[in-house]
Copies of this chain bind each other. A is one copy, B any other.
Amino acid sequence: MEPLNPYPPRFMLNVDKLLPCHSVDCVIIGYDKGALSVLVLKWKDLPLWSLPGGFIKIDEHLDDAALRILKDRTGLDMPFLTQFHTFGQAGGKRMSVESDIRELIKSNYPSIGTWFENRFITTGYLAMVQPSECRLVPDELSESCVWMPIKDLPELIYDHNAIVDQAIAHVKRQLNYLPVGKSLLPETFTMKTFKLLYESILGRELDRANFQKKMLKLGMLTRRGKENKGGAHKAPYLYSFDHDKYQELLEKGIGFIP
């Protein structure tokens, strides 16, 4: 039987150079046209979807493994990335579909033996990126790497849907402490776009006037002129972050969540 692809996956080349029971899964969040999206991978030849993930080298910091995986899939260096939870349920079969994956891997890469059958604990990392800045590259077992709106996510393998849910819950709880604006918005944005971002994270509508008043009062936004839309006198103002002030607010908590 032909391997699924002409080159063996990097992570399987040297399983003795990897930690035997720990993996990393990345919830990479992007924001575009008023919707939060997550980066997901479609497996080759199987009707399976998963989060971008991978293993940890024996001599690699866990955080560096997450950065490496993120860079491999998106091309991004030094984006905003934070660890949010380590998932440690026991039992090899986290989902019925798992045996399909194992069979697929074992038949295509017999050299890895039973390594993949270890029990794995996985650490979830959350990244917030701008889709337009990403160069998406699938991993060796996948045929594509695409953005999917969170509310339309397909069923993912293992506990990956639960990992996404927990990432979003983390963003909600930590909204005052995470650079969601800086990471997810372009350099300049309208107040409407800014409010839509908060609404899509919180999952509810916010009052327009109250939102604008609070945000302006915090002093972290710089007004940059009007959006170029033809009829300029009716165009909304564009804003950008005063990065020093925004950083200062993030460090002590913006104290905004309404």
Task: Name A residues whose Cβ lies closer than 8 Å to a Cβ of B.
Answer: 19-22, 56-65, 83, 85-91, 119, 121, 123, 173-174, 177, 253, 257
Contact = CB atoms under 8 A, between A and B. Distances in A.
Contacts of A61: 88-90
Contacts of A86: 62, 83, 86, 123
A123 B88 contact: yes
Nearest to A60: B90
Nearest to A65: B88
A62 B173 contact: no
B59 A22 contact: no
B83 A62 contact: no
B56 A88 contact: yes
Nearest to A66: B88
Contacts of A88: 22, 56, 61-63, 65, 123
Nearest to A87: B62
A14 to B, nearest CB: 15
B21 A253 contact: no
Contact of A173 (B21, B119, B177): B177
